[in-house]
Amino acid sequence: MNNITIQVLADTLKISKSSVSKALRDSHEISTETKKKVLALAAKLNYSPNPYASSLRKKKSKTIAVVMPEIADSFFSLVINGIQSVAEKKGYHVLIYLSHEKYSNEKNILNEIHNGRVDGLLISISRETKNSDHIKRLQLAGVPIVFFDREIESIHTASVITNDFECGYIATKLLLDKGCKRPVFFSHSASLQICKKRAEGFRLALKKEGYNKKDIQIVYGTDNEKDNDTLIKKSLSAKKRPDAILASVEKLAIQVYMASQELDIEIPGELKVLAFSNIETASILNPPLSTITQPAFEIGKTAATILFKGIEKKHFKLENEKIIIPSVLIERKSTGN
């Protein structure tokens, strides 16, 4: 606890207290520039909401919000089940909001949450999210926040993630051990931390085998299925086509299977495939898909458990909770097992 008040922020910035309040609430009356200054200073001085705001917070809504990119993905639906297993016992409602991978949606959702609707937030950011002011603002309003899977490292709060870098490395190592010479990493984002870390692991494994930078191939997908299909087919039709694909997400792996079927490329004979995925049908696909299986349910359960500590315990420090739950590599036929 410190004694940084709205008054201190106002005095330092030489603006009115009411302007500071409005900036913290993202009011349209305040310019973007001023809002940025207020948020930056509040973060720098470690401003926390005043006792009045805290007492308001005690009017528990008995509701937490989960904001995530999508649900048509086995990882996120399992996370939700993990979250709800904890919330149910606590007698809390869970509101699920989907950003559909759009920053603008995510921002709108967080503004909505702002009016005391929820006691806490679990969030996995959209692929577009680079600016984090919308999250900082909620944090400054005293709402406990826990990131899961996709975090923003510059925001000091709890996060529950998996060992993406290590898994990128192990997965690539497996493909090389199986004799692959031209592995390609298909990533669904160039900016998300989880994808960057997986790509780093991929790069390191290849570098250790003596690959030059220019021979390390990473293809970045978009959020458009058709575009990705075109990208995949282009890659698989190239003269020097890949003999292995590591997919950062199951959607891409499914598309690789479909494209291979269409182009008559045999998995695993001509192409080995490995994906970051919790897909239920992995073992009954043709051929069974090797996966880096993320501890999705555990991630949800752990994130919710920490969030409730943040909600219920007065002096619990969320920023000390950085939890990494490791994923598991499961070899199946798609990597020639």
Selection from 6, 7, 54 nearest residue 315 by Cα: 54
* Backbone phi and psi for residue 110, each to the nearest 5 degrees, phi listed first: -65, -35
Residues 82 and 105: their CA atoms lie apart, in Å, by: 24
Residues 327 and 145: their CA atoms lie apart, in Å, by: 23
Q: Residue 95 or 218: which CB sits closer to a copy of itself?
A: 95
Binding window for a copy of itself (CB under 8 A); candidates: 20-28, 123-131, 160-168, 255-263: 255-263
Q: Residue 80 or 194: which CB sits closer to a copy of itself?
A: 80
Q: Residue 18's CB: how many other CB atoms inside 10 A? A: 13
Is 74 one of the binding residues for a copy of itself (CB under 8 A)?
Answer: yes
Q: Helix 6-13 to helix 32-44 angle, to the nearest 10 degrees?
A: 120
Is 109 one of the binding residues for a copy of itself (CB under 8 A)?
Answer: yes
Q: Residue 62 or 181: which CB sits closer to a copy of itself?
A: 62
Q: Which residue has the tokens 């097992």?
A: 337
Q: Are 74 and 293 in contact (CB under 8 A)?
A: no
Task: Return the residue of 39, 64, 67, 78 that touches a copy of itself, per CB under 8 A.
Answer: 78
Q: Residue 4 or 96: which CB sits closer to a copy of itself?
A: 96
Q: Give the number of residues in contact with a copy of itself, rule: CB under 8 A.
A: 34
Task: Return the residue of 77, 222, 235, 337 that touches a copy of itself, per CB under 8 A.
Answer: 77
Is 15 one of the binding residues for a copy of itself (CB under 8 A)?
Answer: no
Task: Return the residue of 16, 230, 237, 261 that touches a copy of itself, per CB under 8 A.
Answer: 261
Per CB under 8 A, contacts with a copy of itself among 262-321 are 279-281, 283-288
Is 132 one of the binding residues for a copy of itself (CB under 8 A)?
Answer: no
Q: What is the dihedral of CA 37, 110, 73, 235, to 10 degrees?
A: -30
**For 154-191, what is the HEC assignment?**
CCCCEEEECCHHHHHHHHHHHHHHCCCCCEEEEECCCC
Q: Which two tokens stand for residue 273?
A: 């495939």
Is 224 one of the binding residues for a copy of itself (CB under 8 A)?
Answer: no
Q: Residue 93's CB: how many other CB atoms inside 10 A? A: 14
Binding window for a copy of itself (CB under 8 A); candidates: 237-245, 251-259, 301-309, 318-326: 251-259
Is 1 one of the binding residues for a copy of itself (CB under 8 A)?
Answer: no
CB 275 to a copy of itself: min, Å: 12
What residues contact 255, with CB distance under 8 A and at least 6 apart? Answer: 225, 228, 229, 232
Is 257 one of the binding residues for a copy of itself (CB under 8 A)?
Answer: yes
CB 12 to a copy of itself: min, Å: 36
Task: Return the residue of 20, 23, 84, 160 that touches a copy of itself, per CB under 8 A.
Answer: 84
Binding window for a copy of itself (CB under 8 A); candidates: 93-101, 193-201, 240-248, 317-325: 93-101
Task: Return the residue of 96, 265, 323, 330 that touches a copy of itself, per CB under 8 A.
Answer: 96
Q: Residue 250's CB: how many other CB atoms inside 10 A? A: 21
Is 97 one of the binding residues for a copy of itself (CB under 8 A)?
Answer: yes
Selection from 115, 123, 195, 202 nearest residue 159 by Cα: 123
Helix (H, G, I), strand (E, B) or coil at 279: coil
CB 147 to a copy of itself: min, Å: 20
Q: Which residues bind to a copy of itself, rule: CB under 8 A?
A: 63, 71-72, 74, 77-78, 80-81, 84, 88, 93-98, 100, 105, 108-109, 112, 254, 257-258, 261, 279-281, 283-288
